[in-house]
Chains A and B, each alone.
Chain A
Protein backbone atom coordinates (compact mmCIF):
# COMPACT_ATOMS: atom_id res chain seq x y z
CA UNK A 1 0.00 0.00 0.00
CA UNK A 2 1.45 3.25 -1.13
CA UNK A 3 0.03 5.58 1.48
CA UNK A 4 2.73 4.56 3.88
CA UNK A 5 5.20 6.21 1.64
CA UNK A 6 3.66 9.56 1.05
CA UNK A 7 1.64 11.48 3.56
CA UNK A 8 1.97 9.03 6.41
CA UNK A 9 5.64 8.66 5.93
CA UNK A 10 6.84 11.69 7.86
CA UNK A 11 4.70 10.96 10.80
CA UNK A 12 5.82 7.39 10.99
CA UNK A 13 9.32 8.57 11.49
CA UNK A 14 8.20 10.05 14.77
CA UNK A 15 8.34 6.55 16.15
CA UNK A 16 11.54 4.68 15.65
CA UNK A 17 12.06 1.95 13.09
CA UNK A 18 12.20 -1.56 14.40
CA UNK A 19 14.54 -4.36 13.47
CA UNK A 20 12.45 -7.48 13.97
CA UNK A 21 8.85 -7.49 15.04
CA UNK A 22 5.44 -6.16 14.12
CA UNK A 23 4.17 -2.76 13.10
CA UNK A 24 0.45 -2.36 13.58
CA UNK A 25 -0.54 0.58 11.46
CA UNK A 26 -3.82 2.36 10.76
CA UNK A 27 -5.22 1.66 14.19
CA UNK A 28 -8.23 3.90 14.80
CA UNK A 29 -7.21 7.06 16.64
CA UNK A 30 -7.15 6.56 20.38
CA UNK A 31 -7.17 2.75 20.32
CA UNK A 32 -3.42 2.18 20.66
CA UNK A 33 -3.57 1.56 24.39
CA UNK A 34 -6.30 -1.02 23.85
CA UNK A 35 -4.11 -2.69 21.25
CA UNK A 36 -1.40 -2.94 23.88
CA UNK A 37 -3.93 -4.41 26.31
CA UNK A 38 -4.90 -7.09 23.78
CA UNK A 39 -1.26 -7.96 23.30
CA UNK A 40 -0.82 -8.11 27.05
CA UNK A 41 1.80 -5.38 26.98
CA UNK A 42 1.81 -3.27 30.10
CA UNK A 43 5.45 -2.34 30.36
CA UNK A 44 6.15 -4.86 33.10
CA UNK A 45 8.08 -7.16 30.75
CA UNK A 46 11.04 -5.86 28.84
CA UNK A 47 9.38 -5.58 25.42
CA UNK A 48 10.53 -2.62 23.37
CA UNK A 49 7.43 -0.82 22.13
CA UNK A 50 6.86 2.46 20.31
CA UNK A 51 3.45 4.05 20.12
CA UNK A 52 2.13 6.94 18.07
CA UNK A 53 -1.26 8.28 19.06
CA UNK A 54 -3.51 10.48 16.90
CA UNK A 55 -0.97 11.05 14.17
CA UNK A 56 -2.40 12.47 10.91
CA UNK A 57 -3.16 9.89 8.23
CA UNK A 58 -4.45 9.77 4.67
CA UNK A 59 -6.77 6.89 5.11
CA UNK A 60 -8.08 7.69 8.58
CA UNK A 61 -8.15 11.32 9.68
CA UNK A 62 -6.14 10.37 12.74
CA UNK A 63 -4.51 7.07 13.37
CA UNK A 64 -2.50 5.29 15.99
CA UNK A 65 0.51 3.15 15.26
CA UNK A 66 2.13 0.51 17.45
CA UNK A 67 5.55 -1.02 16.86
CA UNK A 68 6.56 -4.04 18.86
CA UNK A 69 10.17 -5.16 18.71
CA UNK A 70 10.95 -8.85 18.74
CA UNK A 71 7.44 -10.21 18.45
CA UNK A 72 5.30 -11.52 15.59
CA UNK A 73 1.58 -11.59 16.32
CA UNK A 74 -0.44 -14.78 16.33
CA UNK A 75 -3.57 -15.09 14.21
CA UNK A 76 -5.65 -15.15 17.37
CA UNK A 77 -4.20 -11.84 18.49
CA UNK A 78 -4.82 -10.36 15.06
CA UNK A 79 -8.44 -11.59 15.17
CA UNK A 80 -9.10 -9.75 18.39
CA UNK A 81 -7.24 -6.67 17.18
CA UNK A 82 -9.58 -6.54 14.21
CA UNK A 83 -12.50 -5.92 16.53
CA UNK A 84 -11.17 -2.59 17.79
CA UNK A 85 -8.94 -1.74 14.82
CA UNK A 86 -10.84 -2.98 11.75
CA UNK A 87 -8.71 -0.91 9.36
CA UNK A 88 -5.37 -1.96 10.77
CA UNK A 89 -2.50 -3.22 8.68
CA UNK A 90 -0.08 -5.70 10.15
CA UNK A 91 3.52 -5.40 8.97
CA UNK A 92 5.92 -8.11 9.94
CA UNK A 93 9.42 -6.70 9.97
CA UNK A 94 12.53 -8.82 9.68
CA UNK A 95 15.94 -7.20 9.66
CA UNK A 96 14.45 -3.72 9.10
CA UNK A 97 12.54 -4.88 6.01
CA UNK A 98 8.81 -5.42 5.77
CA UNK A 99 8.61 -9.17 5.24
CA UNK A 100 4.83 -9.27 4.95
CA UNK A 101 2.02 -6.80 5.10
CA UNK A 102 -1.68 -7.48 5.32
CA UNK A 103 -4.96 -5.97 6.44
CA UNK A 104 -6.70 -7.52 9.39
CA UNK A 105 -9.81 -9.54 8.66
CA UNK A 106 -12.68 -9.74 11.05
CA UNK A 107 -13.32 -13.33 12.10
CA UNK A 108 -16.85 -14.73 12.38
CA UNK A 109 -16.33 -15.46 16.04
CA UNK A 110 -13.75 -15.07 18.75
CA UNK A 111 -13.30 -17.61 21.47
CA UNK A 112 -11.79 -17.30 24.90
CA UNK A 113 -10.48 -13.75 24.60
CA UNK A 114 -13.36 -11.60 25.78
CA UNK A 115 -15.33 -11.86 29.02
CA UNK A 116 -19.09 -11.42 28.84
CA UNK A 117 -20.21 -8.21 30.59
CA UNK A 118 -23.55 -9.78 31.58
CA UNK A 119 -23.24 -10.82 35.23
CA UNK A 120 -26.04 -13.37 34.84
CA UNK A 121 -24.44 -15.04 31.81
CA UNK A 122 -23.54 -18.70 32.33
CA UNK A 123 -20.03 -18.06 30.97
CA UNK A 124 -19.25 -15.81 33.93
CA UNK A 125 -19.90 -18.65 36.36
CA UNK A 126 -17.68 -21.46 37.42
CA UNK A 127 -18.58 -23.66 34.45
CA UNK A 128 -16.09 -25.44 32.18
CA UNK A 129 -17.00 -23.27 29.21
CA UNK A 130 -14.97 -20.88 27.09
CA UNK A 131 -16.51 -17.54 26.28
CA UNK A 132 -17.51 -17.18 22.65
CA UNK A 133 -18.64 -14.11 20.77
CA UNK A 134 -20.13 -13.80 17.32
CA UNK A 135 -18.65 -10.86 15.45
CA UNK A 136 -21.32 -8.48 14.13
CA UNK A 137 -20.87 -5.66 11.67
CA UNK A 138 -20.77 -3.14 14.48
CA UNK A 139 -19.85 -5.10 17.57
CA UNK A 140 -19.76 -8.53 19.15
CA UNK A 141 -22.47 -10.70 20.65
CA UNK A 142 -22.12 -13.35 23.35
CA UNK A 143 -22.99 -16.72 21.81
CA UNK A 144 -24.55 -17.85 25.09
CA UNK A 145 -26.57 -14.99 26.58
CA UNK A 146 -26.74 -12.94 23.35
CA UNK A 147 -25.68 -9.68 24.94
CA UNK A 148 -24.41 -7.26 22.28
CA UNK A 149 -21.38 -5.07 22.94
CA UNK A 150 -20.57 -2.27 20.54
CA UNK A 151 -18.30 0.41 21.94
CA UNK A 152 -16.72 -1.17 24.98
CA UNK A 153 -15.14 -4.24 23.42
CA UNK A 154 -11.71 -3.36 24.75
CA UNK A 155 -13.10 -3.44 28.30
CA UNK A 156 -14.01 -7.10 27.86
CA UNK A 157 -10.55 -8.31 27.06
CA UNK A 158 -9.80 -11.22 29.32
CA UNK A 159 -6.59 -10.18 30.99
CA UNK A 160 -6.37 -13.17 33.32
Chain B
Protein backbone atom coordinates (compact mmCIF):
# COMPACT_ATOMS: atom_id res chain seq x y z
CA UNK B 1 0.00 0.00 0.00
CA UNK B 2 1.43 3.30 -1.02
CA UNK B 3 -0.22 5.14 1.84
CA UNK B 4 -0.51 4.32 5.46
CA UNK B 5 -4.27 4.26 5.18
CA UNK B 6 -6.62 1.59 3.93
CA UNK B 7 -9.66 3.31 2.43
CA UNK B 8 -10.72 1.20 -0.51
CA UNK B 9 -9.91 -2.15 -2.02
CA UNK B 10 -9.87 -0.47 -5.39
CA UNK B 11 -6.31 0.70 -4.98
CA UNK B 12 -4.99 -2.59 -3.65
CA UNK B 13 -2.62 -4.28 -6.03
CA UNK B 14 -2.19 -8.00 -6.27
CA UNK B 15 1.10 -7.59 -4.41
CA UNK B 16 -0.60 -5.66 -1.59
CA UNK B 17 -3.24 -8.33 -1.22
CA UNK B 18 -0.77 -11.18 -1.29
CA UNK B 19 1.50 -9.51 1.23
CA UNK B 20 -1.35 -9.15 3.73
CA UNK B 21 -2.68 -12.65 3.11
CA UNK B 22 0.78 -14.22 3.40
CA UNK B 23 1.36 -12.40 6.65
CA UNK B 24 -2.06 -13.46 7.90
CA UNK B 25 -1.21 -17.07 7.10
CA UNK B 26 2.05 -16.79 9.08
CA UNK B 27 0.20 -15.30 12.02
CA UNK B 28 -2.53 -17.92 11.76
CA UNK B 29 0.09 -20.66 11.87
CA UNK B 30 2.04 -19.17 14.76
CA UNK B 31 0.14 -16.51 16.68
CA UNK B 32 2.71 -16.53 19.49
CA UNK B 33 5.33 -15.07 17.16
CA UNK B 34 3.54 -11.72 17.14
CA UNK B 35 2.06 -11.79 20.64
CA UNK B 36 3.13 -8.61 22.38
CA UNK B 37 4.80 -7.25 19.25
CA UNK B 38 2.88 -3.99 19.39
CA UNK B 39 2.80 -3.54 23.11
CA UNK B 40 1.82 -0.02 24.04
CA UNK B 41 0.08 0.63 20.74
CA UNK B 42 -3.39 2.13 20.97
CA UNK B 43 -6.00 1.64 18.27
CA UNK B 44 -8.90 4.14 18.17
CA UNK B 45 -12.26 2.63 17.27
CA UNK B 46 -14.77 5.11 15.84
CA UNK B 47 -17.99 3.33 15.01
CA UNK B 48 -20.65 5.80 13.95
CA UNK B 49 -23.03 2.95 13.27
CA UNK B 50 -23.22 -0.30 15.17
CA UNK B 51 -21.20 -3.29 14.07
CA UNK B 52 -20.37 -5.45 17.03
CA UNK B 53 -18.53 -8.11 15.09
CA UNK B 54 -16.27 -5.93 13.00
CA UNK B 55 -15.47 -3.88 16.07
CA UNK B 56 -14.73 -6.93 18.22
CA UNK B 57 -12.64 -8.41 15.47
CA UNK B 58 -10.42 -5.30 15.35
CA UNK B 59 -10.32 -5.21 19.12
CA UNK B 60 -9.23 -8.84 19.32
CA UNK B 61 -6.61 -8.35 16.61
CA UNK B 62 -5.07 -5.35 18.36
CA UNK B 63 -5.04 -7.08 21.74
CA UNK B 64 -3.46 -10.22 20.31
CA UNK B 65 -0.67 -8.03 18.96
CA UNK B 66 -0.13 -6.75 22.50
CA UNK B 67 -1.81 -3.39 22.02
CA UNK B 68 -5.02 -1.96 23.32
CA UNK B 69 -8.03 -0.05 22.04
CA UNK B 70 -9.88 3.11 22.91
CA UNK B 71 -13.47 3.20 21.85
CA UNK B 72 -15.67 6.24 21.47
CA UNK B 73 -18.67 4.16 22.49
CA UNK B 74 -22.06 4.46 20.90
CA UNK B 75 -22.93 7.51 18.85
CA UNK B 76 -25.77 8.28 21.25
CA UNK B 77 -23.38 8.74 24.13
CA UNK B 78 -20.67 10.61 22.25
CA UNK B 79 -19.95 14.17 21.23
CA UNK B 80 -21.17 13.33 17.74
CA UNK B 81 -24.63 13.57 19.19
CA UNK B 82 -23.83 17.18 20.00
CA UNK B 83 -23.06 17.84 16.36
CA UNK B 84 -19.29 17.40 16.24
CA UNK B 85 -18.01 16.78 12.73
CA UNK B 86 -16.18 13.63 11.74
CA UNK B 87 -13.20 15.77 10.80
CA UNK B 88 -13.01 17.11 14.36
CA UNK B 89 -13.55 13.71 15.94
CA UNK B 90 -10.67 12.07 14.08
CA UNK B 91 -8.37 15.00 14.81
CA UNK B 92 -9.07 14.62 18.51
CA UNK B 93 -8.65 10.83 18.55
CA UNK B 94 -5.44 11.14 16.55
CA UNK B 95 -3.99 12.66 19.71
CA UNK B 96 -4.82 9.51 21.68
CA UNK B 97 -4.26 6.67 19.25
CA UNK B 98 -1.56 5.28 16.95
CA UNK B 99 -4.08 4.18 14.34
CA UNK B 100 -7.77 4.75 13.78
CA UNK B 101 -10.59 2.55 12.51
CA UNK B 102 -13.69 4.33 11.18
CA UNK B 103 -17.14 2.96 10.40
CA UNK B 104 -19.50 5.70 9.23
CA UNK B 105 -22.80 5.72 7.34
CA UNK B 106 -21.72 8.26 4.70
CA UNK B 107 -19.94 7.31 1.50
CA UNK B 108 -16.50 8.82 1.21
CA UNK B 109 -16.32 9.40 4.99
CA UNK B 110 -13.16 7.36 5.53
CA UNK B 111 -11.42 9.04 2.64
CA UNK B 112 -12.31 12.46 3.99
CA UNK B 113 -11.28 11.51 7.53
CA UNK B 114 -7.91 10.24 6.29
CA UNK B 115 -7.16 13.69 4.90
CA UNK B 116 -7.28 15.13 8.40
CA UNK B 117 -4.94 12.75 10.22
CA UNK B 118 -1.34 11.59 10.08
CA UNK B 119 -1.86 8.23 11.77
CA UNK B 120 -2.92 5.22 9.69
CA UNK B 121 -6.68 5.17 9.15
CA UNK B 122 -8.62 2.06 8.24
CA UNK B 123 -12.05 2.13 6.62
CA UNK B 124 -14.34 -0.35 8.37
CA UNK B 125 -17.28 0.53 6.11
CA UNK B 126 -18.44 3.85 4.65
CA UNK B 127 -22.11 3.58 3.85
CA UNK B 128 -22.66 1.80 0.54
CA UNK B 129 -19.04 2.58 -0.35
CA UNK B 130 -16.23 0.26 0.69
CA UNK B 131 -15.32 -2.31 3.31
CA UNK B 132 -11.75 -3.29 2.45
CA UNK B 133 -10.87 -5.31 5.56
CA UNK B 134 -13.90 -7.53 4.97
CA UNK B 135 -12.58 -7.98 1.46
CA UNK B 136 -9.16 -9.02 2.71
CA UNK B 137 -10.63 -11.67 4.98
CA UNK B 138 -12.90 -12.82 2.15
CA UNK B 139 -9.89 -13.15 -0.13
CA UNK B 140 -8.00 -15.03 2.56
CA UNK B 141 -10.87 -17.48 2.90
CA UNK B 142 -11.19 -17.88 -0.87
CA UNK B 143 -7.47 -18.48 -1.20
CA UNK B 144 -7.51 -21.12 1.54
CA UNK B 145 -10.48 -22.95 0.04
CA UNK B 146 -10.31 -22.54 -3.71
CA UNK B 147 -7.27 -20.46 -4.65
CA UNK B 148 -7.41 -17.01 -6.20
CA UNK B 149 -6.45 -17.86 -9.74
CA UNK B 150 -8.51 -19.65 -12.33
CA UNK B 151 -11.37 -19.02 -9.95
CA UNK B 152 -15.04 -19.07 -10.84
CA UNK B 153 -17.04 -17.22 -8.21
CA UNK B 154 -20.74 -16.51 -7.95
CA UNK B 155 -21.72 -13.47 -5.91
CA UNK B 156 -25.41 -13.52 -5.07
CA UNK B 157 -27.99 -11.38 -3.31
CA UNK B 158 -28.20 -7.63 -2.85
CA UNK B 159 -25.43 -6.49 -5.13
CA UNK B 160 -26.70 -2.95 -5.36
CA UNK B 161 -26.24 -1.81 -1.78
CA UNK B 162 -23.70 -4.40 -0.67
CA UNK B 163 -20.42 -2.65 -0.04
CA UNK B 164 -18.74 -5.97 0.76
CA UNK B 165 -19.67 -7.11 -2.73
CA UNK B 166 -18.28 -4.00 -4.42
CA UNK B 167 -15.04 -4.16 -2.48
CA UNK B 168 -14.62 -7.85 -3.21
CA UNK B 169 -15.29 -7.41 -6.91
CA UNK B 170 -12.66 -4.66 -7.20
CA UNK B 171 -10.04 -6.72 -5.40
CA UNK B 172 -10.80 -9.84 -7.44
CA UNK B 173 -10.15 -7.92 -10.63
CA UNK B 174 -6.44 -8.27 -9.76
CA UNK B 175 -6.71 -12.02 -10.16
CA UNK B 176 -7.67 -14.46 -12.86
CA UNK B 177 -11.21 -14.72 -11.55
CA UNK B 178 -14.45 -15.12 -13.44
CA UNK B 179 -17.08 -13.22 -11.52
CA UNK B 180 -20.73 -14.15 -11.90
CA UNK B 181 -23.17 -11.74 -10.30
CA UNK B 182 -26.53 -13.24 -9.44
CA UNK B 183 -29.35 -10.96 -8.31
CA UNK B 184 -32.86 -9.77 -9.02
CA UNK B 185 -32.83 -7.02 -11.62
CA UNK B 186 -33.69 -4.39 -9.03
CA UNK B 187 -30.61 -5.23 -6.96
CA UNK B 188 -28.00 -5.49 -9.69
CA UNK B 189 -24.51 -4.09 -9.24
CA UNK B 190 -24.46 -0.30 -9.56
CA UNK B 191 -23.58 0.70 -13.12
CA UNK B 192 -20.58 2.61 -11.80
CA UNK B 193 -19.11 -0.52 -10.32
CA UNK B 194 -19.69 -2.41 -13.56
CA UNK B 195 -18.05 0.47 -15.42
CA UNK B 196 -14.99 0.28 -13.18
CA UNK B 197 -14.75 -3.49 -13.43
CA UNK B 198 -14.85 -3.30 -17.21
CA UNK B 199 -12.18 -0.60 -17.12
CA UNK B 200 -10.05 -2.99 -15.10
CA UNK B 201 -10.61 -5.68 -17.69
CA UNK B 202 -12.32 -7.96 -15.18
CA UNK B 203 -14.33 -10.93 -16.36
CA UNK B 204 -17.84 -10.08 -15.24
CA UNK B 205 -21.22 -11.63 -16.06
CA UNK B 206 -24.62 -10.85 -14.65
CA UNK B 207 -27.40 -13.38 -14.10
CA UNK B 208 -30.85 -13.42 -12.59
CA UNK B 209 -30.82 -17.09 -11.68
CA UNK B 210 -28.20 -19.12 -9.82
CA UNK B 211 -29.05 -22.19 -11.90
CA UNK B 212 -27.45 -20.59 -14.94
CA UNK B 213 -23.99 -20.79 -13.40
CA UNK B 214 -24.06 -22.96 -10.29
CA UNK B 215 -22.37 -26.02 -11.77
CA UNK B 216 -19.33 -24.01 -12.90
CA UNK B 217 -18.64 -22.31 -9.56
CA UNK B 218 -15.76 -22.87 -7.15
CA UNK B 219 -17.12 -20.34 -4.67
CA UNK B 220 -20.62 -19.04 -3.99
CA UNK B 221 -20.63 -15.80 -2.00
CA UNK B 222 -24.11 -15.17 -0.60
CA UNK B 223 -25.29 -11.84 0.78
CA UNK B 224 -28.47 -10.81 2.50
CA UNK B 225 -31.36 -9.18 0.68
CA UNK B 226 -32.60 -6.58 3.09
CA UNK B 227 -36.26 -6.34 3.87
CA UNK B 228 -36.14 -2.56 4.19
CA UNK B 229 -35.20 -2.22 0.50
CA UNK B 230 -38.72 -3.26 -0.43
CA UNK B 231 -41.80 -1.16 0.15
CA UNK B 232 -43.97 -4.25 -0.22
CA UNK B 233 -43.53 -7.27 2.08
CA UNK B 234 -44.92 -9.72 -0.50
CA UNK B 235 -42.48 -8.50 -3.11
CA UNK B 236 -39.65 -8.98 -0.62
CA UNK B 237 -40.76 -12.52 0.23
CA UNK B 238 -41.03 -13.44 -3.43
CA UNK B 239 -37.63 -12.09 -4.40
CA UNK B 240 -35.70 -13.10 -1.29
CA UNK B 241 -37.04 -16.64 -1.59
CA UNK B 242 -35.44 -17.04 -4.98
CA UNK B 243 -32.01 -16.21 -3.63
CA UNK B 244 -31.94 -18.58 -0.67
CA UNK B 245 -29.96 -21.77 -0.78
CA UNK B 246 -30.43 -25.15 0.86
CA UNK B 247 -29.16 -28.68 0.24
CA UNK B 248 -31.59 -29.11 -2.62
CA UNK B 249 -30.32 -25.97 -4.36
CA UNK B 250 -26.77 -27.23 -4.11
CA UNK B 251 -27.51 -30.60 -5.72
CA UNK B 252 -26.30 -29.22 -9.03
CA UNK B 253 -23.12 -27.80 -7.53
CA UNK B 254 -19.60 -29.16 -7.55
CA UNK B 255 -18.71 -31.18 -4.44
CA UNK B 256 -15.87 -28.71 -3.90
CA UNK B 257 -18.10 -25.66 -3.92
CA UNK B 258 -17.22 -23.29 -1.08
CA UNK B 259 -20.15 -21.30 0.29
CA UNK B 260 -19.35 -17.95 1.92
CA UNK B 261 -21.36 -15.18 3.58
CA UNK B 262 -20.16 -12.00 5.29
CA UNK B 263 -22.69 -12.66 8.12
CA UNK B 264 -24.98 -12.02 9.81
CA UNK B 265 -27.30 -14.23 7.78
CA UNK B 266 -31.02 -14.37 8.23
CA UNK B 267 -32.38 -17.15 6.06
CA UNK B 268 -30.26 -16.94 2.92
CA UNK B 269 -28.41 -20.13 3.81
CA UNK B 270 -30.36 -23.01 5.35
CA UNK B 271 -28.76 -24.29 8.59
CA UNK B 272 -28.56 -27.78 7.06
CA UNK B 273 -25.64 -26.51 4.96
CA UNK B 274 -23.63 -25.59 8.07
CA UNK B 275 -22.47 -29.16 8.65
CA UNK B 276 -21.43 -29.81 5.06
CA UNK B 277 -17.98 -29.29 3.54
CA UNK B 278 -19.45 -26.41 1.55
CA UNK B 279 -19.84 -24.12 4.55
CA UNK B 280 -16.97 -21.70 5.02
CA UNK B 281 -18.78 -18.73 6.57
CA UNK B 282 -17.80 -19.29 10.18
CA UNK B 283 -14.22 -19.93 9.15
CA UNK B 284 -14.51 -16.72 7.13
CA UNK B 285 -15.58 -14.77 10.23
CA UNK B 286 -12.72 -16.27 12.28
CA UNK B 287 -10.25 -15.29 9.59
CA UNK B 288 -11.07 -11.67 10.36
CA UNK B 289 -8.70 -11.72 13.32
CA UNK B 290 -5.46 -12.98 11.70
CA UNK B 291 -6.14 -10.86 8.62
CA UNK B 292 -6.70 -7.72 10.70
CA UNK B 293 -3.63 -8.58 12.77
CA UNK B 294 -1.60 -8.81 9.57
CA UNK B 295 -3.02 -5.54 8.31
CA UNK B 296 -2.46 -3.67 11.56
CA UNK B 297 1.05 -5.05 11.81
CA UNK B 298 1.78 -3.83 8.30
CA UNK B 299 0.24 -0.39 8.72
CA UNK B 300 1.88 0.17 12.10
CA UNK B 301 5.28 -0.92 10.82
CA UNK B 302 5.07 1.38 7.85
CA UNK B 303 3.23 4.00 9.83
CA UNK B 304 4.47 7.54 9.83
CA UNK B 305 6.70 8.38 12.77
CA UNK B 306 5.03 10.51 15.35
Interface residues, chain A, with chain B CB atoms under 8 Å away? 118, 120-123, 125-129, 142-148
Contacts and interface: CB of A to CB of B under 8 A. Distances in A.
Contacts of A118: 107
B88 to A, nearest CB: 8
B305 interface: no
A125 to B, nearest CB: 6
Which residue of B109, B126, B129, B192 has the most chain A CB atoms within 10 A of its CB atom?
A: B109
A122 B192 contact: no
B105 A120 contact: yes
B112 A148 contact: no
A145 B107 contact: yes
B85 A121 contact: no
Which 9 pairs of residues, A with B, have the shortest CB-CB distance? Answer: A144-B108, A145-B107, A145-B108, A122-B106, A122-B108, A122-B109, A122-B112, A127-B85, A148-B192
B3 to A, nearest CB: 15
Contacts of A129: 87, 112, 115
B85 A123 contact: no
5 contacts: A120-B105, A125-B85, A126-B85, A144-B108, A146-B192
Nearest to A144: B108
A118 B107 CA distance: 9
B228 to A, nearest CB: 15
Contacts of A125: 85, 106
Nearest to B166: A146
Interface of B: 83, 85-87, 104-109, 111-112, 115, 126-129, 192, 195
A146 B195 contact: no
Contacts of B195: 148
A143 to B, nearest CB: 8
Contacts of A127: 85-87, 112
Nearest to A116: B108
Contacts of B104: 122
Contacts of A122: 86, 104, 106-109, 111-112, 126
Counting chain B CB atoms within 10 Å of each CB, which of A122, A126, A128, A144 scores highest? A122
Contacts of A123: 108, 112
Contacts of B83: 126
Contact of B107 (A121, A126, A128, A148): A121
B90 to A, nearest CB: 11
A147 B136 CA distance: 24
A145 B123 CA distance: 13
A144 B112 contact: yes
A143 B112 CA distance: 10
B48 to A, nearest CB: 11
A51 to B, nearest CB: 35
